[in-house]
Amino acid sequence: MGARLDVRKTYKLYIGGTFPRSESGRSYEVFAAPARAGATPRFLANAAQGSRKDARDAVVAARAAQPGWAGATAYNRGQVLYRVAEVMEGRRAQFAEEVRVGEGISPSRADSLVSQAIDRWVWYAGWTDKIAQVAGNPNPVAGPFFNLSVPEPCGVVAILAPQESSLLGLVSVIAPAIATGNTAVVVSSKDRPLPAVTLSECLATSDVPGGVVNIITGDAAEIAPWLASHRDVNGLDLTGSAGVEGLAWGELEASAAETLKLIVRPGGAGARAEEPDWAIEPAISRMTTFLETKTVWHPKGR
């Protein structure tokens, strides 16, 4: 019996519930965070380098999935999202290892981040059937009508995932967008894409319909302008523009304004984008930003 051949993993994109390579055929090298300044970085993987055409395909998939996902009952969406947390829990060791080498932190710190990420996912899963009670309202009107304001998902949301926090940050931007019934096209952290690839495998195996979340690994500076100007994208989360060379979030916002997209600006003050502190318990603003309010007048007897 000879030595066993390695079974090496091909890191791919996640579009429409399938794992394609980039249409461009490109890939790029992913390295571990260096242990100390000046050390030679350790090679980790070849990740697929997504292109604008991958983003285009992802938007088509997200658009196709949107009515079904928004049409599912809020309770059902919550169950499905909770299932994702269950599957993530089963992959805890893999996540912890990828976070550890990618972010250059201790095993115990990585393990804690994974716990926080899973807890955050569960937190948002719980919001699916509660957000309408908070963001919606029966309005008092001067007439024989029930007047109801109901929050509805805006549609397809393009998300630039944070560059630094490769799992907790990633979860903190994806979960709020999809919990309310939007579908998402996510551009992962460029230097730390591996937790995003693993998360896509969790999503693929946990009853989340294909196309609800689409994850593209690659360079946000290359892909983001196309998503910002895309007329079939309804919302844009610019969080991950912080720390990206050659990407001015103000220009993306200006471009997005052409098609009235809903925007989440990155953290930080003025033009200088900074990544938020993900350890802080979130407000519901990441959910409410990507909602539109429908108001219904319903006649009632006197």
Query: What part of residues 171-230 is at the interface with other proteins (CB under 8 A)?
Result: 226, 229-230
Distance CA 90, CA 87 (A): 5
**Measured from the CB of residue 160, what is the shortest distance to other proteins in angstroms?**
17
Q: Which stretch binds other proteins (CB under 8 A): 55-63, 78-86, 142-150, 187-195?
A: 55-63
Query: What part of residues 100-159 is at the interface with other proteins (CB under 8 A)?
Result: none
**231 contributes a contact to other proteins by CB under 8 A:** yes
Give the β-pairing of 137-139 and 145-153. Answer: antiparallel
**Measured from the CB of residue 157, what is the shortest distance to other proteins in angstroms?**
14
Q: Is 90 exposed, middle or buried (0-12, 13-18, 19+ CB in 10 A)?
A: exposed
**One residue of 56, 83, 92, 265 binding other proteins per CB under 8 A:** 56
Q: What's the one-letter identity of residue 21?
A: R
The residue among 43 and 297 lying less far from other proteins, judged by its C-beta, is 297
Angle at which helix 168-179 crosses helix 74-90, to 10 degrees, equals 160
**One residue of 23, 129, 164, 232 binding other proteins per CB under 8 A:** 232
**Measured from the CB of residue 176, what is the shortest distance to other proteins in angstroms?**
23
H or E element: which one contains 48?
strand 43-48
Structure tokens at 65: 């999935």
**298 contributes a contact to other proteins by CB under 8 A:** no
Place of tokens 């007047």: 147
Distance CA 88, CA 121 (A): 10
**89 contributes a contact to other proteins by CB under 8 A:** no
Interface with other proteins by CB under 8 A: which residues?
Answer: 56, 59, 63, 226, 229-232, 258
